[in-house]
Amino acid sequence: MGSGWLASNPMKKFLTLAFAATTALSSPLLAQAAPPESARLRDAALTDDLAWEITEGLTTEIGPRKAGSDAEARARDWAVAKLKALGFANVRVETFEVPYWERGDASAEIVAPFPQPLTLAALGNSGGTGPKGLKAELVGFDSLAALEAADPASIKGKIVFVTHRMAAAQDGSHYGPVGQIRRIGPSIASQKGAAAILIRSIGTDEHRNPHTGSQDWKDGAAPIPALALANPDADQLERVLKRGQPVTIALRVTAKMAGKRTSGNVIAEVPGRDPSLPIVLVGGHLDSWDQGTGAIDDAAGVAITTAAAKRIMDAGQPLRTIRVVWFGSEEIGLFGGVDYREKHKEEKHHFLAESDFGADRIWRFQTSVADAALPAMKPIAAALAPLGIVQGGKNGDASGSDISEIQKLGIPVLALSQDGTRYFDLHHTPDDTLDKVDPAQLRQNVAAWTAMLAVAANDSTDYGPVPPRK
């Protein structure tokens, strides 16, 4: 550190929170349907600093936390120390094995007709090219459907390019259908004999930051190089192909599978007054993709849920035990959720709730509870309403990533949905860094989770039964 060092805050260019987050909402002049204690805790949470501290700490002191990596192991140690220091009970790690994929290096260039480099990133489980790389003709498709319909003879030995665009949506609902290009496109290309596949990034930005993500080789498809182009590079390939000349691409990818590694879930608890009652499970995932530091995906998620649970703990013992889970190896296939389900299937859970959609303002409250429990949702909705959050969707829609695996046991779910309009600008890119988290919106998240837990962890009503998730 040299002389003249000055403290400086990250510039917040993108975001201002129109919602005046620190205004006291539970004025005595406003009659409310929410229990007074939940309103008090909610409003106090609008000054929360813990969620920022956790998000900043994890992304700075660990950085990227790829599933199964040494960094993920360091992150577990970091999490255990932090959760113990915060006063949580029963802090422990439950480990499990995961397949480990090494990213290695990836580079590509247009060889002809217009020589120039391309920016791309290997997708999870991508195969490699060998050290010499490969050179082949490009064949373009504007959708997964077009690839599915293609004659294998038109693909064999070529590099497939699929360029379907994704649009931003508040609920992120385009990720399901458009994301299929990443999830099954590589397998289809492989099965049709392609030498490699390049997809347009599953993302909504216009930066030279490709979006990585998981995919599995289905139905015995042989691994081939499978990569995502940054969106401007996909634009460029479209323009080049439109010239109508044959396009040759050179590709060098050293990605490979590298055996098994240890991953794990970090678990902590706020013990309830009545240990015989089914418990509340909240959390997010500790691992991240390796290109960014996993700030919005998902340091913020573990931070928000932990900060809310800490506020409930500090306010006095809740009726039910609240279990906080920082899941491991979510990104490569929900391994943490599966491991938790298998190890805790005999335990009774009141409901599950997960934060894994960034840290922008929460706008919606959703449920997957028994119809008979819908009246019990009303005080939760009432506690959330002053934060600009409305109950929405149909009962049964609420889910999550890791908890989707645990839902297979037949457990109710509550969900607080962040605004996802810009989430897929950043998701799985090098750009998922701390500066993308807005402290004011992060506090609104903590307030919402605190309000929900203040009501639901003190509610003796059953939220189930619900059918096991298929």
Provide the pairing of β-strand 159-162 with 196-200. parallel
Asked if 192 touches its own copies (CB under 8 A), the answer is: no
Chain position carrying tokens 């360091």: 74
Q: What CA–CA distance (Å, rounded) separates 99 from 67? A: 9
Buried b (16+ CB within 10 A) or exposed e, 396-426: eebebbbbbbbbebebbbbbbbbbbbbbbbb
Q: What CA–CA distance (Å, rounded) separates 143 from 134? A: 24
- Of residues 168 and 338, the one with the C-beta less far from its own copies: 168
Helix (H) or strand (E) holding 429: none
- Of residues 247 and 454, the one with the C-beta less far from its own copies: 247
Tell me the β-bridge partners of 134: 251
Provide the pairing of β-strand 196-200 with 226-229. parallel
Question: If you count them, how many residues does the chain have?
Answer: 470
Using the rule CB under 8 A, give the single segment among 83-91, 152-160, 309-317, 327-335 that binds its own copies. 152-160
Asked if 460 touches its own copies (CB under 8 A), the answer is: no
- Of residues 129 and 291, the one with the C-beta less far from its own copies: 291
CB 207 → its own copies: shortest distance, Å?
5
Asked if 244 touches its own copies (CB under 8 A), the answer is: yes
Asked if 141 touches its own copies (CB under 8 A), the answer is: yes
Binding track over 53-82 against its own copies, x by CB under 8 A: ---x--xxxxxx------x-----------
Using the rule CB under 8 A, give the single segment among 26-34, 140-148, 260-268, 305-313 that binds its own copies. 140-148
- Of residues 240 and 281, the one with the C-beta less far from its own copies: 240
CB atoms < 10 A from the CB of 36, how many? 9
Asked if 153 touches its own copies (CB under 8 A), the answer is: no
CB 171 → its own copies: shortest distance, Å?
19
Q: Select from 394, 363, 391 the least CA-distant residue to 379.
A: 391
Asked if 154 touches its own copies (CB under 8 A), the answer is: yes
Span between the terminal Cα atoms of the chain, in Å: 56
- Of residues 62 and 451, the one with the C-beta less far from its own copies: 62
Asked if 430 touches its own copies (CB under 8 A), the answer is: yes
CB-based contacts of 342, cutoff 8 Å, min separation 6: none
Strand order in the sheet with 134-141: 116-118, 106-112, 248-253, 134-141, 159-162, 196-200, 226-229, 120-122
Asked if 465 touches its own copies (CB under 8 A), the answer is: no
Using the rule CB under 8 A, give the single segment among 29-37, 116-124, 303-311, 407-415 that binds its own copies. 116-124
Instruction: Phi first, then psi: give them for residue 18, nearest 5 degrees.
Output: -60, -40
Asked if 4 touches its own copies (CB under 8 A), the answer is: yes
Q: Of residues 165, 174, 183, 408, which one binds its own copies by CB under 8 A?
A: 165
Longest Cα separation, the chain? 73
Q: What CA–CA distance (Å, rounded) separates 399 from 390? A: 17
Asked if 150 touches its own copies (CB under 8 A), the answer is: yes
- Of residues 38 and 190, the one with the C-beta less far from its own copies: 190
Q: What CA–CA distance (Å, rounded) separates 125 from 227? A: 10
CB 162 → its own copies: shortest distance, Å?
9
Q: The dihedral of CA 297, 302, 307, 308: what is its sign?
A: positive
Asked if 342 touches its own copies (CB under 8 A), the answer is: no
Asked if 222 touches its own copies (CB under 8 A), the answer is: no
Contact residues for its own copies, defined by CB under 8 A: 1-8, 10-11, 13-14, 56, 59-64, 71, 110, 113-117, 119, 139-143, 145-147, 149-150, 154-155, 160, 165, 206-209, 231-232, 235-236, 238-244, 292-293, 429-431, 433-436
